[in-house]
Amino acid sequence: MDNKQAYKKYVDRRAARSPVLRNCVAAFWVGGSICVLGQLLLTLYRRLGLLLDEASTLVSVSLIFLAAALTALGIFDRIARYAGAGTLVPITGFANSVVSPAIDTKSEGLVLGVGAKIFTIAGPVLLYGILCGAVYGVIYYIVTLFM
């Protein structure tokens, strides 16, 4: 047995087993709770007389603001440690990925700290999201030309 195989065997013996079922349940109920909160906000905004488009936009803004505030207070990170992808997949995860680097680098100043590092995590998501949208749009356009 070579060193690589021996090391892999050693790591496999020593590595903690991930509680997959508990992680899935936590992600499901926390992510679901975020969605329920969004639905409750949508219902509230609609009852206040807003149109569906306006209420939907306000729900997104509200969830982003709430996630940013919880990130600034250090609460969002504790929830994310518990729920994992349950907090990171919805729009709240995007808000956290923008606010976290800004908070971490604020001591370096507004330009070289916050300004330079604010999109460290969210930047690749934005880049590839926009790129995929553009590629999909071109493919959709070409396909509809032949229909």
CB 23 within 8 A of CB 88: no
Instruction: For residues 132 and 28, give the distance between their C-alpha atoms in angstroms, rounded to a whole number.
Output: 27
Distance, in Å, from the CA atom of 117 to the CA atom of 113, rounded to the nearest integer, reads 6
Quick one: which of 2, 15, 28, 136 has its CA closest to 89? 28
pLDDT digits (tens, 9 = 90+) for 41-76: 999 999 999 999 999 999 999 999 999 899 889 899
- Three-point CA angle 120, 106, 130, nearest 5°: 25
Place of tokens 């070289």: 112
Query: Domain spans of the chain?
Result: 18-104, 105-147
Is the separation of the CB atoms in 61 and 44 below 8 Å?
A: no
Tens of pLDDT, residues 86-140: 887 778 888 888 787 777 776 777 777 667 777 776 777 777 778 888 999 999 9
Please tell me the pTM assigned to this model.
Answer: 0.69
What are the φ/ψ torsions at residue 2 (nearest 5 degrees)? -80, 175
- C-alpha pair distances (Å), 21 with each of 28, 83, 99: 10, 12, 30
